[in-house]
Amino acid sequence: MKQTDFAYYLSKFLSVYLTGIEGLSENTILSYRDTFSLFLNFIAVEKELDINKITLSDLTKELILDYLDWLEISRKCKPTTRNVRLFAIRSFFKFLQFEYPDRFIEWQQILMIPKKKTISEVMEYLSIDEVKALLEQPNINNKKGMRDQAILSLLYEGGLRVQELIDLEIDDIRIDNPSVIKVNGKGNKVRVIPISNNIKTRIQTYISIRQNDDCKNNILFVSKHKTKFTRAGVNYLLKSYYSKMTETENFTYKKISCHSLRHSKAIHMLESGVNLVYIRDFLGHSSVQTTEIYARLNIETKKKIMEEYSKGEIEKQEALWHKKDDLLDWLKNLGS
């Protein structure tokens, strides 16, 4: 069967452009792949078309909109998921603008499809006391408990994304002074994170047991089947211990995930007076604007500011432009 132009360019996009040109991580590429797998499934089932005969001329704005609506209505996807799929589609059509500019106007129309507005959910995070109580839940008198405590400790102290934790290898841990872990983050960006002596001891203990277990692979944290953890597996582990904690301790139950521990670490660093720029580097954010969300969510910081304001420590100042005769001149000189 002759390869269609759509099949050719999609293969080139996924296997050459995203890896060689964009340098995206394996997980991001897999997400893009899933977007187009769903798209082909939509075309075959909903449109009743032969996916082996789909060409670039079949890719219209209306078809993409139908696909996005199908994700929300038939597959019950949230607007955030719809936007993730749309982002992958946009990336493909940006690629086509250079690789196949013959239908440039059609590609532009698809690129102009807007994102759906989403409702910002409240970011749940744990207090320091809650984190301490959570880390005390695993039974460290057995191998599983030692492993689980090391996982939870590293998720929090390192501010790790769950995939970063899953991908850690034994060689990524340096026990020397200073003790650090090497993390491969989003976009294959590597960062080095210091760890405390307490966490170092927990990891050392776990690694010694891990090596005595005759496990052949080099992955740091392995399941009971001696295989790499999945995201769902780590989230299940966390929620199991968290549910146990809220049942036995006097804490209000919150809807949390592994990412909540990362949020908690950022909030606690901010409350301790750590600069946002350092927190950005610590978490592996590409921009400090991403990190600023923690400043907006930090209730304790807001409370301190309000207390200072009520005491008169923050004085009300007259707008500087009032001292200028010409507001336009002031605006022109602003920042100079």
Mean pLDDT check: name the lowest of 77-86, 123-132, 184-193.
184-193
Q: State the pLDDT at residue 114.
A: 94
pTM for this prediction: 0.66
Helices (H), the chain: 5-12, 26-45, 61-73, 79-99, 104-111, 128-135, 143-157, 162-167, 197-212, 231-248, 258-271, 276-283, 288-297, 299-310, 327-333
Instruction: Identify the residue whose tokens are 């199991």.
Output: 240
Whether 324 maps to a domain, the answer reads no
Question: How much of the chain exceeds pLDDT 70, in percent?
Answer: 82
Do 182 and 279 belong to one domain? yes
Q: State the pLDDT at residue 332.
A: 53
Q: State the pLDDT at residue 10.
A: 95
Do 262 and 137 belong to one domain? yes
Structural domains of the chain, count: 2
195 Rama sector, left if φ>0, alpha if ψ -120 to 50, beta otherwise: beta
What tens digit of pLDDT does each residue of 250-291 get?
888 888 889 899 889 988 888 888 887 888 888 887 766 666
**184 vs 25, higher pLDDT:** 184
Whether 325 maps to a domain, the answer reads no
What tens digit of pLDDT does each residue of 312-322 get?
444 444 444 44
Give the closest residue to 332 by CA, choosing from 319, 322, 321: 321
Of 95-104, 119-128, 224-233, which has the strongest mean pLDDT? 95-104
What tens digit of pLDDT does each residue of 174-211 get?
877 788 899 888 777 888 888 888 888 888 888 888 76
Do 138 and 270 belong to one domain? yes
CA 105 to CA 93: how far, in whole Å? 11
Whether 330 maps to a domain, the answer reads no
Q: Tell me which residue range forms the domain holding 281.
A: 128-304
- Mean pLDDT across the chain, nearest whole number? 83
* Amino acid letter for position 23: G
- Domain CATH number, residue 96: 1.10.150
Do 167 and 294 belong to one domain? yes
Instruction: Identify the residue whose tokens are 């099949």.
Output: 7
Do 165 and 84 belong to one domain? no
Q: State the pLDDT at residue 22.
A: 80
CA 169 to CA 222: how far, in whole Å? 10
Do 169 and 288 belong to one domain? yes
Do 41 and 98 belong to one domain? yes
Backbone angles phi, psi at 222, to 5 degrees: -120, 155
Instruction: Identify the residue whose tokens are 């990336």.
Output: 91
Of the pLDDT bands very low, low, confident and very high (cuts 50, 70, 90), residue 138 is very high
Do 291 and 164 belong to one domain? yes
Q: State the pLDDT at residue 214.
A: 62
Q: Rounded mean pLDDT of 84-96?
A: 96
Residues forming beta bridges with residue 222, ordered by sequence position: 228
- The rounded radius of gyration (Å) of the Cα atoms in the chain is 25
Give the closest residue to 260 by CA, choosing from 147, 119, 134: 134
Do 170 and 106 belong to one domain? no
CA 131 to CA 157: how far, in whole Å? 10
